[in-house]
């Protein structure tokens, strides 16, 4: 009877381990997507398979490629880890002429999307010709999202690895049986109490808790950073990775189960008593700062290489009849100095202002530094969010007016928006990034604050938000694919110019004003772009030169935060 009980317990443990380790003995094959495409020129294509049956496409597996339609007419992509996709779409970028798509199949032709009437596009014109889908370029921008609005009933092919299965089965069963046997002997032979046996079992079970669920995300939204990536012991070509131990430690520390729970407890205790947290601090006025905001210094001059690159960029654009206006964004700490007796070197503020004036005078540049206006505005309204580094709508509007004052010197026909052009609302949450959604500030996530503490911080402040009174007339086309992140705007009542709003996330609040000033605006994001790393994000000519020239703008507005000025040294880097 005792042997039978041990057998049943060991069997239950074995079955549980087999289920948890299925990825080792079940090989889920990539989902193969094929289709024919006809047209002209080079087209960038991204295929997305969504895990859920909805229009949000937030749980996607994706594959990107580029094709020269003058030479090739067939696409075949392998999408990894897409086990049970429910929805399908294709993003076509750089469409300058009509394209024809047909014979769309999944799983090596076994699953056909032959009912083409279920296909829809987000913009542009779509028509059908027998079994073909004809896509026409949209009037604004050159990106089209083709979505199949019907649930997929398909699963990836699975290969069963019998050898690995048998190894795991035998070893697990033997180990489980031995453990149950040991536990029984521990009671009868060692004469230990059942409480000690239970305690010992729970202790060993807890050893497995950190590895019970390894986080597979590439980016931590809460911390706003890229998590450590897996690095194998044996690299390509049979090279041994001698840093495997360190790499594995970094990978595990970023991804083990309950990590965020433990961080929240630690942060809450430290924050409560010191005002400091991981990677930052909270001053007595309720402003959060990253540690890096205290480390930034500036000792430049007009002869620094990054300024020479900016001069070179301005000259290059003038050769193509494009005017460049550079709008500087002060850092939050220059407007709201920390109040916890932390000394910072603010000389760089005066040095930047000194050098900008010299550059404008000596090289005929248009660099706008609205520091004084924003410092004055801070006496009345919030210029920056308490819980992240972006400027508010109030702060961005002051920057906008300083920018337009400079533009109007050469273009008196362009109308500068006034306060009475907007409706206003208030909210204690932050809305200052690409998604345009209200949420907790990024710095509070970067510092690993708990949800409860974030909520308390955001209760203390209300920010003013601007909405143009004719926002219903604005047409927007959004593209977010590898190497290409843009928002194209068309406002029929704007000045008849083509404008590129170039730069980082500080432009998101500027997007409440610039698109209503000009008829055609392309918001060209340079950071947080898929497949472009942070060190690469300021290599603008490497990744965006063709995009800029193809758009043929009259004006480029280049928005640069103070702390990003030295990164201009990468403007023309192509390696």
Q: What's the CATH code of the domain at 99?
A: 2.60.60
Name the 3-class secondary structure at 62: strand
> Domain boundary residue among 117, 148, 179?
148
State the angle between helix axes of 2-20 and 162-188 in degrees (0 to 180), rounded to the nearest 10. Answer: 140
Residue 495 has pLDDT above 50, yes or no: yes
Residue 340 has pLDDT above 60, yes or no: no
Distances (CA, A) of 302 to 310, 352, 356, 364, 492: 10, 10, 8, 13, 40
| Residue 223 counted as domain residue | no
Name the 3-class secondary structure at 118: helix
Contact 201, 183 (CB under 8 A): yes
| pLDDT at residue 288, as a whole number | 85
Lowest mean pLDDT among 146-160, 176-190, 351-365, 378-392: 176-190
Candidates 352, 341, 327, 333; CA nearest to 295 is 333
Q: What percentage of the chain carries pLDDT values higher than 90? A: 34
Contact 505, 560 (CB under 8 A): no
415 and 564 fall within a common domain: yes
Residue 407 has pLDDT above 90, yes or no: yes
What's this model's pTM, rounded to 2 decimal places?
0.63
| pLDDT at residue 165, as a whole number | 79
| Residue 563 counted as domain residue | yes
- Residue 77 sits at φ, ψ, to 5 deg, of -125, 145
Distances (CA, A) of 83 to 28, 30, 153, 431, 461: 7, 8, 11, 35, 45
| pLDDT at residue 68, as a whole number | 83
> Domain boundary residue among 98, 118, 148?
148
| pLDDT at residue 343, as a whole number | 42
Distances (CA, A) of 359 to 112, 347, 352, 371, 519: 61, 19, 10, 17, 30
Lowest mean pLDDT among 115-129, 200-214, 522-536, 551-565: 200-214
Number of C-beta neighbours around residue 461 at 10 A: 17
Rounded to an integer, the average pLDDT of 180-185 is 67
| Residue 315 counted as domain residue | yes
Which residues is 488 bridged to in the sheet?
477, 522
Domain count, the chain: 2
The overall average pLDDT reported for the chain is 83
| Residue 541 counted as domain residue | yes
3 state SS for 70-97: CCCCEEEEEECCCCCCCEEEEEEECCCC
**Cα distance between residue 572 and residue 575, in whole Å:** 9
Distances (CA, A) of 463 to 4, 393, 431: 68, 8, 10
Name the 3-class secondary structure at 56: coil
pLDDT top residue among 463 and 297:
463
**Cα distance between residue 63 and residue 77, in whole Å:** 7
Residue 500 has pLDDT above 90, yes or no: yes
**Cα distance between residue 335 and residue 323, in whole Å:** 30
Distances (CA, A) of 566 to 190, 237, 571: 70, 38, 10
| Residue 35 counted as domain residue | yes
| pLDDT at residue 521, as a whole number | 96
| Residue 15 counted as domain residue | no
| Residue 468 counted as domain residue | yes
- Highest mean pLDDT out of 74-78, 258-262, 325-329, 354-358: 325-329
> For 237-250, b where at least 16 C-beta lie within 10 A, e where not — what string?
eeeeeeeeeebbeb
The whole domain housing 81 covers 30-148
> Domain boundary residue among 101, 126, 148?
148
> For 524-551, b where at least 16 C-beta lie within 10 A, e where not — what string?
bbbbbbeebeeeebbbbbebbeebbeeb
Cα-only R_g, the chain: 29
Q: Which residues contact 204 (CB under 8 A, 6 or more apart)?
A: none
> What dihedral do alpha carbons 172, 174, 180, 185 form, nearest 10°?
-150
Instruction: Decide the pairing of beta strands 99-106 and 132-136.
Output: antiparallel
**Cα distance between residue 402 and residue 16, in whole Å:** 65
Name the 3-class secondary structure at 104: strand
Residue 472 has pLDDT above 70, yes or no: yes
Contact 483, 460 (CB under 8 A): no
Candidates 472, 466, 507, 504; CA nearest to 491 is 472
């Amino acid at each position: 009877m005792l042997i039978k009980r041990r057998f049943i317990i060991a069997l239950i443990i074995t079955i549980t381990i087999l289920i948890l380790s299925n990825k080792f003995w079940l090989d889920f094959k990539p989902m193969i997507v094929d289709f024919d495409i006809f047209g002209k020129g080079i087209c960038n294509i991204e295929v997305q398979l969504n895990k859920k049956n909805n229009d949000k496409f937030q749980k996607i597996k994706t594959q990107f490629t580029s094709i020269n339609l003058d030479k090739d007419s067939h696409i075949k992509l392998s999408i990894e880890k897409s086990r049970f996709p429910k929805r399908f779409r294709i993003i076509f970028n750089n469409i300058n002429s009509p394209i024809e798509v047909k014979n769309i199949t999944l799983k090596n032709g076994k699953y056909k999307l032959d009912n083409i009437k279920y296909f829809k596009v987000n913009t542009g014109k779509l028509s059908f010709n027998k079994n073909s889908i004809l896509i026409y370029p949209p009037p604004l921008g050159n990106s089209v999202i083709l979505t199949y609005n019907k649930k997929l009933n398909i699963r990836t092919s699975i290969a069963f690895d019998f050898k690995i299965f048998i190894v795991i089965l035998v070893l697990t069963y033997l180990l489980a049986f031995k453990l149950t046997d040991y536990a029984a002997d521990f009671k009868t032979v060692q004469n230990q109490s059942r409480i000690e046996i239970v305690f010992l079992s729970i202790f060993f079970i807890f050893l497995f808790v950190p590895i019970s669920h390894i986080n597979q995300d590439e980016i931590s939204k809460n911390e706003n950073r890229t998590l450590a990536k897996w690095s194998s012991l044996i690299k390509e070509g049979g090279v041994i990775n001698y840093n495997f131990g360190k790499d594995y430690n970094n990978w595990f520390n970023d991804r083990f189960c309950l990590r965020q729970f433990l961080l929240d407890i630690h942060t809450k205790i430290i924050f409560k008593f010191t005002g400091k947290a991981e990677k930052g601090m909270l001053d007595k006025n309720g402003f959060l700062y990253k540690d890096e905001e205290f480390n930034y210094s500036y000792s430049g001059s007009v002869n620094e290489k990054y300024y020479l690159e900016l001069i070179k960029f301005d000259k290059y654009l003038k050769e193509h009849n494009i005017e460049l206006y550079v709008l500087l964004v002060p850092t939050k700490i220059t407007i709201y100095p920390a109040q916890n007796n932390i000394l910072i070197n603010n000389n760089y503020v005066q040095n930047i202002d000194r050098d900008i004036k010299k550059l404008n005078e000596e090289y005929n540049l248009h660099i706008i530094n609205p520091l004084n206006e924003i410092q004055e505005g801070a006496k009345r309204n919030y210029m920056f969010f308490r819980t992240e580094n972006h400027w508010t709508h109030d702060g961005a509007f002051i920057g906008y007016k300083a920018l337009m004052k400079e533009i109007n010197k050469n273009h008196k026909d362009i109308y500068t928006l006034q306060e009475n052009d907007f409706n206003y609302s208030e909210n204690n949450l932050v809305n200052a990034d690409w998604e345009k959604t209200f949420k907790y500030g990024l710095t509070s996530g970067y510092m690993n604050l708990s949800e409860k503490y974030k909520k308390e911080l955001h209760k203390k402040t209300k920010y003013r938000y601007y909405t143009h009174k004719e926002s219903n007339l604005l047409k927007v086309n959004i593209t977010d694919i590898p190497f290409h992140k843009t928002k194209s705007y068309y406002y029929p009542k704007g000045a008849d110019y083509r404008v590129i709003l170039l730069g980082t996330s500080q432009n998101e609040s500027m997007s409440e004003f610039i698109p209503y000033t000009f008829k055609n605006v392309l918001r060209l994001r340079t950071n947080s772009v898929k497949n472009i790393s942070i060190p690469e994000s300021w290599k603008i000519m490497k990744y965006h030169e063709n995009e800029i020239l193809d758009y043929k703008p009259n004006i480029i507005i280049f928005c640069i935060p103070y702390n990003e000025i030295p990164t201009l040294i990468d403007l023309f880097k192509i390696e």
